[in-house]
Structure 1
């Protein structure tokens, strides 16, 4: 049974809603982790989400970057994984599906939790559960017109988007009202595996410009 009022939503971290870009790191070895995160933070991509398998890196990164960046965990789908994320010091968690018990635990811990959904019905249902926001994922599967089509069908919901977003798609979601965009391969590339950090910097600048440019 939920301990949370349907109208009670722990707010997202201010860095996420201010900067609007979330670097979504892959579940693989990342030998260049710290150097790559430093470049992203310098370029204004200062919210970073790690997979559950890399949860132990959150405490390390928070120790290195302190208040310059915000670190969370994505794809949490059970109580053990949530415990790992919270013990690691995650500043937000993204759940892989609608789980009221996990949401309640996050609410009790004061940690913003996001819930994955895709269709208008799923988005509305997820929002009624009381998360900080809904993550539309995979955001690109429905095509480039989906942001403008789906968000008006979930009035009042705080929505973010994740999954295969390039700069153009990120801008479309931002203009439609998504409060944050989760960026994966199009941003990350090979930078965390020893790839050129100059190229990562350029990609950060491209995405930053895409969501910061004034609308026509």
Structure 2
């Protein structure tokens, strides 16, 4: 069900550096805009408490995961807090094997073809290509030439203006942080919902 939901939406919101009411309002706006997957990065304040709280609020409406997960201890703590999926910035064989063997959806971070192949060899169905921003959408297309079965999630520098370009280059999905997941200075969260909607629509069009 979780994997199917992701295959249907293919956009992950990356919630970093926000907590409390601000995080809850931001997540609500993102959900209203049609995004169904949000990761709370573990280097955010009170990250585990935030995961637990967001699961309570959004159960059935949006899947909440943990990002910036770098070791097994962090995986266990995140899952205990209620994380439904795990996102890492790197390839850690122990983390990937643990998630795969325990049927936990994981998207490990990789950049080079060697790293991408290693992630898939270890059992990852999805691989986060990070940081892709400075390389551009063309890099995704180049990697998919030999790895045409790979389900690559482009992360780093993704926004509503270039998301469709990544889709056309073959990215299976995208992760979006800074361009989406910031509390507006005027606290008009409708802007966040509109932006989220643009991301979802551009990646599906």
Structure-2-length-normalised TM-score: 0.89
Aligned positions, number: 202
From 29, 32, 35, the counterpart of 2:22 = 32
Give the 3 Å change call, closer, same or farther, for CA 28–59 of structure 1 in structure 2. closer
Task: Tell me the equivalent position of 2:83.
Answer: 90
Distance 1:44 1:103 in 2: 29
Task: Tell me the equivalent position of 1:156.
Answer: 149
Give the 3 Å change call, closer, same or farther, for CA 12–147 of structure 1 in structure 2. farther
From 127, 131, 134, the counterpart of 2:124 = 131
Bigger helix fraction = 1
Q: Is the 8 A contact 1:137 1:162 kept in 2?
A: yes
Distance 2:201 2:151 in 1: 23
Distance 2:150 2:141 in 1: 14
* Local SS of the residue matching 1:124: helix
Unaligned runs of 5+ in 2: none
> Which aligned pairs between 1:21-60 and structure 2 lie closer than 5 A?
21-29=11-19, 31-53=21-43, 54-60=47-53
| CA deviation map 1:45-89 (0-9, x unaligned) | 121000114122222111111111101111111122111111112
After superposing on structure 2, the runs of 4+ consecutive aligned residues of structure 1 that deviate more than 3 Å are 28-31
Structure-1-length-normalised TM-score: 0.85
